[in-house]
Amino acid sequence: MTQSPHTAANLPADTTIPSGSVGIVSPEFISFDEPLHLVSGKVLPRYELAVETYGTLNADRSNAVLVCHALNASHHVAGMSADNPKDVGWWDNMVGPGKALDTDRFFVIGVNNIGSCFGSTGPASINPDTGKPWGAAFPMLTVQDWVHAQARLADYLGIKKFAAVMGGSLGGMQALGWSIICPDRVGHCIVIASTPRLSAQNIGFNEVARRAIITDPDFHGGDYYAHNKVPRRGLSLARMVGHITYLSDDDMATKFGRTQRAPAEGGDFHYGYDVEFEVESYLRYQGEKFSTYFDANTYLLITRALDYFDPARHHDGNLARALSHVNAGFLLVSFTTDWRFPPERSREIVEALLENKLPVTYAEIDAPHGHDAFLLDDRRYHAVVQGYYDQIARELGLPERAKTTGVLAA
């Protein structure tokens, strides 16, 4: 199961593949027919995973890296979708030939979480028992469940141990979860802009988003598919409030400030509730766009899984004890202006790892972009990640990186 750049027949004639891109990619859909027993006590009778891979799995299957996604992303981590080459993977600046996670050396796997809405089994999928969409009957999932579902993917691919499991935000929680649940299958764990548990404020914002969706009359108790409706108002509000928490105050000041959008004569306000400021226009647009492609039940489910994540919970709140049997090496990265999962939260993980005498590299990147910084192209940040992968590659005896490539080359 390898995938290399190819040109599909249906691509526009003028499609060019930028250097450093993994090229044109398509997902595979892999079915798992054994029931998945969930943390909630419920059972998912079977599931399908949407998967993309980049690079080549080496002979001893030691160079695989699993990339876990955050709330609204998918298996499409890098490259250009065969269906639509403009649809570039969400972490394309991180993953590709010569990039921080170098697909010339590593075999990279992107997988859509179950419960999501981008191809893996989720609330909008058909419930085999009823022949109709799962809707409200889809079982609640947790980070642990995602790890279990993904462990079967690793089995399917014949990967006993990942060179690394990596993710940002919720993806970072999954990477941390992997290192705890499958300590012998994770060589390294790369946790970016993440947290060992949500704060009351984090849960509060999630709850506002969920109430917006659930109280939208078009939600129909989660079974809106049957009513041919989408709770777009609620989903749009959820996205707007989420979006504010992904950006820093300073970043919003720089991007939008108090700039007016289409002011009245003489630069005056319109004195009404239509858009007056650029920031309103931006948030409305983000909310509306999101509500056209994201599934409301998935939003509920994933925010709830975020709320539940707390590895220290069954260890009297002691994170070090929760990590006591972990074997991986760790890289943690946080961003100074991330007020959703601020550096303090990453430092809590660092301290718990150090208490267990585990090898830890920690970088706190001074970046103005808030939580979203983990998705952005920042040379210092990418250089840290690349340096860490160089070290993994040396450990595993993988071929040297080409001297002319790399984040700091050029």
- The footprint of a copy of itself on residues 118-147 (CB under 8 A) is 139-140
User: Is 92 known as a binding-site position?
Assistant: no
User: Is 347 known as a binding-site position?
Assistant: no
**By CB under 8 A, residue 271 contacts a copy of itself:** yes
- The footprint of a copy of itself on residues 170-209 (CB under 8 A) is 197-201, 203-205, 207-208
**By CB under 8 A, residue 279 contacts a copy of itself:** yes
Per-residue binding string, a copy of itself, 342-381, x by CB under 8 A, is ----------------------------------------
Instruction: Determine which residue in the list 48, 104, 223, 280 makes contact with a copy of itself, applying CB under 8 A.
Output: 280
Closest by CA to 352, choosing from 317, 381, 382, is 317
Of the two residues 258 and 357, which places its CB atom closer to a copy of itself in the complex?
258
**By CB under 8 A, residue 272 contacts a copy of itself:** yes
Q: Are 141 and 38 a contacting pair, CB within 8 Å?
A: yes
Of the two residues 197 and 382, which places its CB atom closer to a copy of itself in the complex?
197
Size of the site for a copy of itself (CB under 8 A): 54
Residues tagged active-site: 169, 338, 371
Of the two residues 26 and 40, which places its CB atom closer to a copy of itself in the complex?
40
Distance in angstroms (rounded) separating the CA atoms of residues 248 and 191 = 20
For residue 371, the minimal CB distance to a copy of itself (Å) is 13
For residue 140, the minimal CB distance to a copy of itself (Å) is 4
**By CB under 8 A, residue 335 contacts a copy of itself:** no
Instruction: Determine which residue in the list 48, 104, 223, 307 makes contact with a copy of itself, applying CB under 8 A.
Output: 307
Burial of 368 (0-12, 13-18, 19+ CB in 10 A): middle
Name the CA dihedral angle for 126, 110, 371, 145, rounded to a multiple of 10 degrees: 50
Of the two residues 35 and 204, which places its CB atom closer to a copy of itself in the complex?
204
Taking the CA of residue 197 as centre, how many other CA atoms within 13 Å lie in the half-sphere pointing to its CB? 13
Instruction: Determine which residue in the list 256, 324, 354, 387 makes contact with a copy of itself, applying CB under 8 A.
Output: 256
User: Which residue stretch of 34-42, 60-68, 92-100, 146-154 sits at the interface with a copy of itself (rule: CB under 8 A)?
Assistant: 34-42
Taking each helix axis from N to C terminus, what angle separates 200-214 and 232-246, rounded to the nearest 10 degrees?
Answer: 160
Which residues bind to a copy of itself, rule: CB under 8 A?
39-42, 139-140, 197-201, 203-205, 207-208, 210-212, 214-215, 217, 233, 236-237, 240-241, 244, 247, 249, 252-253, 255-258, 269, 271-273, 276-280, 283-284, 287, 300, 304, 307-308, 310, 339
Known binding-site residues equal 239, 372
